[in-house]
Structure 1
Amino acid sequence: MKKTVFTICLLFMVLLSSWGYEQRNLLQNAASEALIRNSLVMKQAWVPFPKYADRADWDQLFGKEKEAIIEAGSKFLDYHWQVIRATDYLEYERSGSRNSMQDTYNQNIKVFSHLLVAELAEGKGRFIDDLINGVMFFCEMTSWAESAHLFGAQKSKRAMPDYREDILELRQGDVSQMLAWTYYFLKKPFDKIDPMITSRLRYELQKRELTPFLKRNDFWWMARNYKQDGLLNNWTPWCNANALLCFMLLEDNPDVLAKAVYLSMQSVDQYLNYVKGDGACEEGPTYWGHAVGKLYEYLTALSLITGDKVNIFHSPLIKKMGEYITASYIGDEWVVNFADASAKAGELNTMLIYRYGVSVNSPTMRGMAVMRAKAHPLTRPWTWLDLYQELGNLTYRPLLDSDVASYQPENFVWYPETQFCYMRNGHMFLAAKGGHNNESHNHNDVGSFILAIDNLPVMIDVGVGTYTRKTFSRERYSIWTMQSNYHNLPIINGQPEVFGASYKAGKVSVDKKQCLFTADIAQAYPAGAAIDAWLRSYQLKNNSLIVTDDFTLKEKKAANQLNFMTWGEVDTSKKGRIRIRVNGVSAVLNYDDATFTPAIEKIDLTDPRLSKVWGDAVYRITLTAKEQTLKGTYRCTISRENH
């Protein structure tokens, strides 16, 4: 790949060392294409939801939520569908903003999905005309893909939809699945008005989703030409789940359906081969629902269409992938947010966690879901775009409500291949990482850590701001949140870490008994940093964390610095002691005043994606070495201050 070709998807395709790739082929080993062909449940007999006319069954499914669902849809009666202007697409190229196109598009999608579910709940035809208008509106769109993804995937490399090419990507697939369910549920009432409506819709779904999935093999997420040094992520299970469900809802030719199912199995197998054997999601908890959650959606659909002949929920890997989310939950709705994840757990789908836990027989996942449902009741508003998932969630809701499983997080969790380590000791929680600097949704953060006290993050990973064109381009690491300078890491000889799979942790080790994590992070820095070794270790005590750096340098170039990110009130008035107060939690960073000079940088947060988590500002604490030496040891202690 030429370095000049930087698109929205480049970060996802760039070559890297294949850490953990294992040719498991769990799905293909479970069934051949011939077995798939002989096992197909045809003519949508697999659908686990009522047919449109089965009013009693819909009433039972929606239960006490029925009237609220109808009311929510009623607000959009006589909706005027919003045109996405050409300049909305072009704005991505002009300013890098995705929102001009996506905000309008997402509003239309939201309205359509609410109208659809309201009609399913009421069943009186009151929403049909608006749904017909919506169907025809979507059919008249040149593409269902988002501008940012068009820019990366189209042969034109432009953000404006190209009428000559149909692109398969995340949002396009979501809309395809939503409209495929619309076709399935409402074909009869639509046909009573005019058969042209469903005829046109079926044509567009064939053209935009089914045919490209069968005929093309060049979309990177398909992994049909995959090489073992390539990167895969949530796109693969997500896009395949959408495609599989569209074929299941629309295709009545068993030969074609079998071919599509098997193509999807081959693709998802590559993702499962790519995922490390420890089951960790390197994209972080926010993306767990898009990656492992969509894998769950795919696997449940695959089981339905094959009459349960292909069911791999018994696989230890599938269970580990699910239980990662329970380990990454700090508490009180905070999560470990390495990579492009948010530190808040708001995006976690409690019902999805529960259903996954039931499928893999995980009391831990069930217990976490029960805990969250009690502490944070499952309330409106609903998001109905993924109808298959949300209707499935409603089906499982009574089971969750009656479940008595409890959640008790483990005190020590180690992911040896992904190199994530989570520890709990007394009031303290620590997450530390090794890894490399070309992980999916990567930040340059080899060796960084997150420290929470009483379930509240104190030393933080800031996360990621609103996505723009720059986020997935050659300019990604010009964004401060992506740089090691703004993670809990040293600047060595004036040098931060750099991007690339070869920039990685070495000699990574853990000691469960000592609550100790150690990694040599020297290789994460460029040659100009002149490092022989930089051994960073974290030892978690009952009420304190000891951060130690043992180092050897080849030469002295610039003063070393230790950086710590926080979001609390910072007080440096006492030498050797920095006090941090965050929402009622008080911590003290102790350092050697003879060795370091402290400085505080306030970073105002103007990006709402960051400010909604951390407030108006975060702070970087920098300890600058007063004397540069070729060899030495730095030690800092972060302690919980008793109230």
Structure 2
Amino acid sequence: MKCIQVDKLGMLFLVFLVSGVMSYSAPKEKQEVLDIDAYLKAADPQLIYPTALQIEMLKKVVPQEAFQPAPPISDRKHWDRVADGEEGKEYLKEALAQLDKAPEVPITDEIYRRANKEGNRGIYKPRYYRTMDRLERYILGECIENKGRFLPQIVVYVDSIVAMKSWMHPNHDDRENSVLEGKRVAIDLGARKFGLVLAMANSLLEDKLPAALKAKIDEQLQWRIMDSYLRSCKGEDTKSNTWIRSTSNWNSVCTSGTIFTTIVASKSYDERIAAIGCALNSMVYYLSGFGADGYCSEGTGYWNYGFGHYLYLAEILDDYTNGKVDLISFNDPQKLNNVANFPERFQIHEGMYSPFADGVTRIKPGSDNFAYVMAAKHYGAKKPLTFVPDESVQSLIVWKDGDDYTAPYTKTVLPAYTYFDDMGIVISRGSQRIPFSISMKAGHNAENHNHMDVGSYVVVLGDDYISGDIGAPSYIAGAFSDHNPARSSWGHPVPRINNTLQSKGKEHKGIITKTRFQKNKDMVTMDIKAAYEIPELKILNRTMINDRNGNGTITVSDEFKTSSPVIFGTAVMVNVDYKVVDEKTIVITSENQKVKAEVSSNGAAFKITDEVVPVKHLRSGKKSYRIGIDFVEPLTSGSITVRYTPIEE
């Protein structure tokens, strides 16, 4: 995931630019609209590539000409209007300030191989994106100024990108570096952007670029993007581009970039039709990654990244077909509405989220928010304060009234609880002056960015995270291993039985069996037995109670029964200060708050043993601790309860 902070000036320019694009586009006429249900019914379940019937359906709604994403440089009426505005002048000034910077690609083979082996993104990723971002600025700068000052650098940058052996992120190549070695071609989160930036250059700059360079761009896009994509969708290349069936953000991000490139750059009508058909079939997989309740197991950060690119794809197809291909509603309008409103509902307190899987705890101010703007536009979601695009090409989508989908700050009033009943996520919110709340998940252990975390939870007091899920490891070598302590259930506040952790797979899940939501107390019970492959385990229930009376009390209890004695324990996880003050009490101290965690049990005595989580690179940047709570003897039944209460000072 890539977040780019864009200054206010750049944002204003992009909104201004988009308003000009609207005047360029033809009026929408919806004489014939693609019947999405009929289209999807006509698909071949074995292939992403569209069937003959699907292609015939698309020919009725897709125009013969290629997609023009914005007015070309020859449309001086448009670009001179941009140039005369204050925003255009300042944007041009900023583009000129970067004009002397050299491209930072290609990287050396040695750096590529090292990044592949170590998973070290820092030694290449900033270079990739700085290069692409500058090239975008140069392209638009030249469109504004039309003096040729940017053209030499554009040529240099294009040549540098063309010279790259691989457009992929090195850590996305296989262990043999086969893309680098020229043994295959593949599209990833980086390659799709290299492609779309070059496609934008050819489209907007027209004959301002040398004919030989334009031909070279066409050749590269055909080889690295269009041919690679369609071969994978036909099933001819099963190793590359496996994201075409992914339920994660990879699918929507790579698909949106690939489709932009194809419908802009391809000289073949049949090829453009086929690519659109593939995208529609592929999006069925992407959307299946969300719960019917709209829950995104990847968290709010990846929701913005993935769903934002889905909505970008929806916008460009809507524009290209004059509204005849509708991905905003697609085949399940209610589900899409739920997905669009996910971030608002997923908040524990305003601006605070559960870091389940690889999710984030907070959204940084100034982060890109294209998905939020589009969700407000199409689904009535809360309007963000400003529009901060992730990429310049997002400014080229066609909506005239982008400002209408931003609004001044208003305080969010969250309900007492939110229940994502399809995926099994409950957020129980406190009503105190300093609200004391908990978010808890059932889910399963084959989610996107999966952690083995059925039964995990997060306790929050006011603006502070107190206890629970410690979040994701940083993305370096070993980060995605099931044995990484921050990804396995060892590093989560869930039981460990006979020294056995939770297993991976969709069948290893939790089921919420009982809920009771009342004014002063919420209760949730979930059966998490299936998360463990332990034959003697007969019952394993986790119950959460949030008592809102007074300053609040939150309890988490685990009850088990087995056919033979087992060693049973659970854990309190923290990445803030704490102290084990006696054999049953832990005092947790965050930046602004202090909470007492009292442990009790039925069945036998227990012991508390704390240890550091042995992961050097957690995304939080903090040192985390596992405070184990284990029975001192094997049992066939028992329970352990952790009772959290705020401490007033």
Q: TM-score, normalised by structure 1?
A: 0.82
Alignment of 1:166-181 (within 5 A): 166-181=185-200
Larger deviation, residues 111-120 vs 161-170: 111-120
Cα pair distance change 1:123/1:413, threshold 3 Å: farther
Map of 2:565 onto structure 1: 556
Map of 2:357 onto structure 1: 339
Map of 1:240 onto structure 2: 255
Gapped regions of structure 1 (runs ≥ 5): 1-23
Residue 450 (structure 1) aligned with residue 464 (structure 2): no
Amino acid at match of 2:598: N
Alignment deviations for residues 328-384 of structure 1 (CA, whole Å, 9 cap, x no partner): 233454322211222232296334302222112x2xx224x24xx5xxxx67xx75x
Map of 2:174 onto structure 1: 151
Alignment of 1:198-209 (within 5 A): 198-209=214-225
The CA deviation at 1:184 is: 1.0
Larger deviation, residues 159-168 vs 39-48: 39-48
Amino acid at match of 2:206: K
The answer to whether the 8 Å contact 1:355/1:396 transfers is no
Amino acid at match of 1:471: A
Alignment of 1:46-445 (within 5 A): 47=69, 51=73, 53-54=75-76, 65-82=87-104, 83-151=106-174, 157-158=176-177, 161-190=180-209, 194-217=210-233, 218-219=237-238, 232-273=247-288, 275-314=290-329, 315-331=333-349, 333-346=351-364, 349-360=368-379, 362=380, 365-367=381-383, 369-370=384-385, 373=386, 383=390, 386-392=391-397, 397-402=402-407, 407-426=412-431, 427-445=435-453
The answer to whether the 8 Å contact 1:25/1:270 transfers is no
Aligned mates of 1:60, 1:403 — CA distance in 2: 26
- SS of 1:308's equivalent? coil
Residue 516 (structure 1) aligned with residue 516 (structure 2): no
Aligned mates of 1:465, 1:62 — CA distance in 2: 48
Alignment of 1:485-634 (within 5 A): 485-506=490-511, 508-513=513-518, 514-527=521-534, 530-542=536-548, 543-558=552-567, 560-574=568-582, 576-592=584-600, 595-603=605-613, 606-607=616-617, 609-611=619-621, 615=622, 617-634=623-640
The CA deviation at 1:309 is: 1.1
Aligned mates of 1:478, 1:198 — CA distance in 2: 48
- SS of 1:555's equivalent? strand
Map of 2:48 onto structure 1: none
Aligned mates of 1:106, 1:90 — CA distance in 2: 19
Aligned mates of 1:395, 1:503 — CA distance in 2: 47
The answer to whether the 8 Å contact 1:178/1:387 transfers is no
The answer to whether the 8 Å contact 1:599/1:622 transfers is yes
Amino acid at match of 1:290: Y
Cα pair distance change 1:147/1:73, threshold 3 Å: same
The answer to whether the 8 Å contact 1:434/1:508 transfers is no
Cα pair distance change 1:303/1:639, threshold 3 Å: same
Alignment deviations for residues 178-220 of structure 1 (CA, whole Å, 9 cap, x no partner): 2111111112321xxx211111111111111112222333457
Amino acid at match of 1:106: Y
Aligned mates of 1:64, 1:508 — CA distance in 2: 60
Amino acid at match of 1:398: D
Amino acid at match of 2:576: G
Aligned-pair RMSD on alpha carbons? 3.2
- SS of 1:316's equivalent? helix
Alignment deviations for residues 480-528 of structure 1 (CA, whole Å, 9 cap, x no partner): 1102111111222332222233322245443333522221222212327
Cα pair distance change 1:320/1:268, threshold 3 Å: same
Aligned mates of 2:402, 2:576 — CA distance in 1: 38
Aligned mates of 1:404, 1:619 — CA distance in 2: 37
Amino acid at match of 1:487: H
The answer to whether the 8 Å contact 1:25/1:272 transfers is no
Aligned mates of 1:604, 1:527 — CA distance in 2: 26
Alignment deviations for residues 133-188 of structure 1 (CA, whole Å, 9 cap, x no partner): 00111112222112222217xxxx43551324221222111211121111111123
- SS of 1:359's equivalent? helix
Larger deviation, residues 260-269 vs 341-350: 341-350
The answer to whether the 8 Å contact 1:69/1:121 transfers is no
Cα pair distance change 1:62/1:91, threshold 3 Å: farther
Larger deviation, residues 260-269 vs 100-109: 100-109
Residue 466 (structure 1) aligned with residue 474 (structure 2): yes
Gapped regions of structure 2 (runs ≥ 5): 1-35, 43-52
Cα pair distance change 1:509/1:241, threshold 3 Å: farther
The CA deviation at 1:316 is: 0.9
The CA deviation at 1:288 is: 0.7
The CA deviation at 1:94 is: 4.1
Larger deviation, residues 86-95 vs 576-585: 86-95
Cα pair distance change 1:563/1:571, threshold 3 Å: same
Aligned mates of 1:515, 1:62 — CA distance in 2: 59
Cα pair distance change 1:431/1:395, threshold 3 Å: farther
Aligned mates of 2:88, 2:349 — CA distance in 1: 32
The answer to whether the 8 Å contact 1:599/1:623 transfers is yes
Higher relative helix content: 1
Larger deviation, residues 197-206 vs 387-396: 387-396
Larger deviation, residues 65-74 vs 460-469: 65-74
Aligned mates of 1:50, 1:453 — CA distance in 2: 54
Larger deviation, residues 543-552 vs 50-59: 50-59
Aligned mates of 1:233, 1:45 — CA distance in 2: 27
Aligned mates of 1:390, 1:126 — CA distance in 2: 23
Aligned mates of 1:64, 1:219 — CA distance in 2: 50
Alignment deviations for residues 546-585 of structure 1 (CA, whole Å, 9 cap, x no partner): 1111111233343x32211122221322553322121112
The CA deviation at 1:89 is: 1.9
The CA deviation at 1:55 is: 6.2
> What is the aligned counterpart of 1:28 among 6, 29, 40?
40
Map of 1:39 onto structure 2: 61
- SS of 1:330's equivalent? coil
Cα pair distance change 1:288/1:238, threshold 3 Å: same
Cα pair distance change 1:436/1:160, threshold 3 Å: same
Alignment deviations for residues 61-85 of structure 1 (CA, whole Å, 9 cap, x no partner): 9965445533443343233333311
